[in-house]
Amino acid sequence: MRNSILFRTLLALIGIFSIIACQEKKVIINYPTTDLATENIIPIPLKVTPTNSAFGLDKNTAIYTTQDSDFEKVGSFLSNKISSKIDLDVPVNTTSTTTNKIIYINKTDSLELDNVEAYQMYITQDSIIINAKTAAGAFRGIQTLRQIIPEESNDTLTAHKMWLVPTGKILDQPNFEYRGAMLDVARHFFSVGDVKKYLDILAYYKFNALHLHLTDDQGWRIEIKSWPKLTEIGASTEVGGGPGGFYTQEDYKEIVRYAAERHIIIVPEVDMPGHTNAATVAYPQLNGNGKTPKVYTGMRVGFSTFDANKDIVYAFIDDVVREISAISPGPYFHLGGDESHVTKKKDFKKFVLKVSKIVESHGKIPVGWDEIANTEISSSSVAQFWSSEKNATRAIEKGMKLILSPAKKAYLDMQYDTLSKHGLHWATYIPVDSAYIWTPETFVKGLPKDKILGIEAPLWSETISNIEELEYLAFPRIIGYSELNWSIKENRNWENYKVRLANQAPYLERMNVKYYPTKLIDWKISKHTYEEIKKN
Ligand code: TNX
C-alpha cells in the first residue's frame, strides 16, 4: 500500500524530474552518515525510519505543491520559514530551470494513515516528498521538516552552502484531535501582536486550538456592537488597576485569520453566569439587584453572577453569542460555567441549559468548565475537566466528550517551584518534568480514550501582564503538552524528551522567547547566543 502511494507520487513527479534530468549531470556527493531517528523533533513522530544519508538543501532547491490554493499556501509558509531560519530563498512552484532538487507537498486521497492531519514524509538525496490528505496534514508535516533543517550549513561538500537534512521516512499522525492552549486576556489584556507570537510557536509544535478567555470580573475584551458599553466601560480595567483593553471585531477577525493560516482554530469564551462583574458594571440590569457594582481589579473569584431569571439576560447572551459566532469559524463556543459560587444551584442549571441552547442555535458546539456536567446540558456538549473528578465522572456518565486541563498537571499559571517569579500555586507546583510525566489517556478513571478530545493548557493571567511574563510561564512547559497531545504514549519518554527539549533553545532564542531556563534541562544554546553572552 505504502509502496503504491509512493509509486503514484513518483509518477506525478515525473514531469518535474524530467525537466531536472535534462539540466545538469548528476554530481555524486559523499554525504556524511546521518540518523533521522535521533533528530530533535517535538512532538515525536509516530514512526521514523532512517536511511542514513542526506538531502542537501541549497540554492538549487525548489518547493512544488499540488495545484490547490491551500497546499500552495503551505508551500509558501515553508519557504518563508526556511528563509527566516537559514536565509535561503527557496522558490515555490517555479518554472526556473536551475532547480535540481525538490521539496514536493502532495495532496493524496490514498494515504494509509486515516487521519485528517496525518502526513508522510519521504526524504531521499534528491527530494523530500510530503504526502497528506489535507492542507492541515501538510502543514503539520512542514513543521517537522522545519525542525530537521539544521541551523548551520555544511560548506565542504560543494562550492556552495548546503543544509543537510537526514534521509528516511516519517509516518505521523496526532494522538488527540484537539490540541489546545488557553490564554486569559481578561485578567490582563494581551495585544493582537502578543497573541500572534504565541500562535506562531503553538503552530511549530502542532497545536490546533487556541481558546481565548475573553471575559471575566476584571474586564470584557471583545467588542459587541449591539452592547457597546461592554467595551466602553467594561474593558477599561484589569487586575492591579492597569488600563485594560479589548479587541475590536476587526482585531479578533485578524487573530482568527492568522490562526487559520496556521491551521489553528480560535475557541472564544464568554465566562458566565459567574465571572461577570465587568459585564454588569457596564449593564447593571444583567445582575440580580440591578445596582451598579464596583469595578473589580483584585484576584478573588466566585462573587459575581448574571440573574438567571431575567429575560433580558438571555436576550443579551443571544446577541453576544451571535456576534462572536459570526466571526468565529471554529466549531466551538465556550460558555464558561466555572466557580459560580453565588448562583443558586437551580438557577445555575437553568442558566447553563438555556445558554447551551443559544450556543447551539448559532451553530456552535457548547463547551464549558467541568461544573456544567451537573446540568441537563446535551451530551454533544464538551466538558473541560479542570478540578473536579466527580464532575468529570458525571460528564463521562452523560456520554460527553472531555477536554483535559487538570490544574495539577496542565495549568500554565501554576508556579514551577517556590522560587518562581510569577504564577500561583493553589493546585500545586508544576516543575517541567511533572508537566510532562503523566498519562492523559488514563488520568480520569473510566474515561475511554475516544471520549478524550485532547489536552488544553490554560494560562490564567492574574500574575502576568506582558508577553515576557507569559513566556516565562508557558515555556517550556507547553512544549511538553504538545507531545502528550500529538504523540502516542508508547513513544513518550522523559529522558528522551529532555534531550530534544534542550535542543529547542536555538529556536526559542531565535523567536525571542523568554523561556524559564529550568535546571532540569541541559539547554543547548546556539552558537549565536553563546557569542552574545560572551560579549556582554
Ligand atoms: C481557577 S480554572 C479559575 C480561574 C482562575 C484560576 C487561577 C477555572 C475554570 N477557574 O478563574 O484564574 O483558577 O489559577
Interaxial angle between packed helices 192-204 and 249-261, expressed in degrees from 0 to 180 and rounded to the nearest 10: 20
Q: What is the pLDDT of residues 481-515, one digit of tens each?
A: 999 999 999 999 999 999 999 999 999 999 999 99
pTM of the model: 0.95
Q: Which atom of ligand 1 is nearest to the CA of 426?
A: 14
Split at pLDDT 50, 70, 90, the class of 26 is: low
Q: What is the mean pLDDT of the chain?
A: 94
Which CATH entry fits the domain spanning 2-172: 3.40.50.300, 2.60.40.10, 3.30.379.10, 3.10.20.740? 3.30.379.10
Q: Which atom of ligand 1 is nearest to the CA of 411?
A: 14
Question: What mean pLDDT comes out for the span 94-106?
Answer: 92
Q: Annotated catalytic residue: which of 72, 339, 371, 471?
A: 339
- 343 CA → ligand 1 middle, Å: 17
Q: What is the pLDDT of residues 200-242, one digit of tens each?
A: 999 999 999 999 999 999 999 999 999 999 999 999 999 999 9
Question: What mean pLDDT comes out for the span 466-483?
Answer: 98
What pLDDT does 528 receive? 61
Contact 149, 124 (CB under 8 A): no
Query: Is residue 58 in contact with ligand 1, taking CB distance under 6 Å?
Result: no
Contact 104, 164 (CB under 8 A): no
Question: What mean pLDDT comes out for the span 99-119?
Answer: 91
Query: Is residue 117 in contact with ligand 1, taking CB distance under 6 Å?
Result: no
What is the identity of the amino acid at 59? K
What pLDDT does 185 receive? 98
- 460 CA → ligand 1 middle, Å: 7
Split at pLDDT 50, 70, 90, the class of 152 is: very high
Query: Is residue 424 in contact with ligand 1, taking CB distance under 6 Å?
Result: yes
The protein residue with its alpha carbon nearest to ligand 1, atom 12, reads 460
> How does strand 47-57 pair with strand 163-172?
antiparallel
- 386 CA → ligand 1 middle, Å: 9
Query: Is residue 460 in contact with ligand 1, taking CB distance under 6 Å?
Result: yes
Query: Is residue 299 in contact with ligand 1, taking CB distance under 6 Å?
Result: no
Rounded Cα gap, residues 162 and 29, in angstroms? 11
Is the C-alpha dihedral spanning 115, 479, 142, 10 positive or negative? negative
Judged against a pLDDT cut of 70, whether residue 10 lies above it is answered with no
Q: Which atom of ligand 1 is nearest to the CA of 407?
A: 2
What pLDDT does 41 receive? 98
Query: Is residue 192 in contact with ligand 1, taking CB distance under 6 Å?
Result: no
- 450 CA → ligand 1 middle, Å: 27
Q: What percent of the chain has pLDDT over 70?
A: 93
Q: What is the pLDDT of residues 434-459, one digit of tens each?
A: 999 999 999 999 999 999 999 999 99
> How does strand 265-272 pair with strand 209-213?
parallel
- 495 CA → ligand 1 middle, Å: 31
- 490 CA → ligand 1 middle, Å: 32
Rounded Cα gap, residues 44 and 496, in angstroms? 10
What pLDDT does 300 receive? 96
Alpha helix locations (H) across 401-526? Answer: 407-410, 432-436, 440-443, 467-474, 477-486, 494-502, 505-510
Contact 480, 435 (CB under 8 A): yes
Is the C-alpha dihedral spanning 31, 34, 40, 43 positive or negative? positive
Instruction: Clarify whether 339 is annotated catalytic.
Output: yes
Measured in whole angstroms, the distance separating CA 507 from the mean position of its chain's CA atoms is 17
Quickly count: other Cβ atoms within 10 Å of residue 5's Cβ: 19
What pLDDT does 22 receive? 46
DSSP class of residue 423 equals -
What pLDDT does 13 receive? 56
What pLDDT does 515 receive? 96
What pLDDT does 535 receive? 60
Question: What mean pLDDT comes out for the span 385-402?
Answer: 96
What pLDDT does 16 receive? 55
Q: What is the pLDDT of residues 31-83, one digit of tens each?
A: 999 999 999 999 999 999 999 999 999 999 999 999 999 999 999 999 999 99
Largest Cα–Cα separation, the chain: 84
Q: Any residues with CB less than 8 A from the CB of 210 and at least 6 apart, and which?
A: 180, 181, 182, 183, 195, 198, 199, 202, 259, 264, 265, 266, 267
Query: At which residue does the C-alpha cell 492591579 appear?
Result: 240
CA angle, residues 499, 502, 506, in degrees to nearest 5: 135
- Min mean pLDDT across 111-115, 132-136, 451-455 is at 111-115
Task: Delimit the domains of the chain by residue range.
Answer: 2-172, 178-499
Is the C-alpha dihedral spanning 217, 222, 224, 230 positive or negative? positive
| DSSP codes of every residue in 42-60 | SSPPSEEEEEEEEEEE-TT
Query: Is residue 437 in contact with ligand 1, taking CB distance under 6 Å?
Result: no
Rounded Cα gap, residues 21 and 15, in angstroms? 10
The domain 178-499 having CATH identifier 3.20.20.80: the answer here is: yes
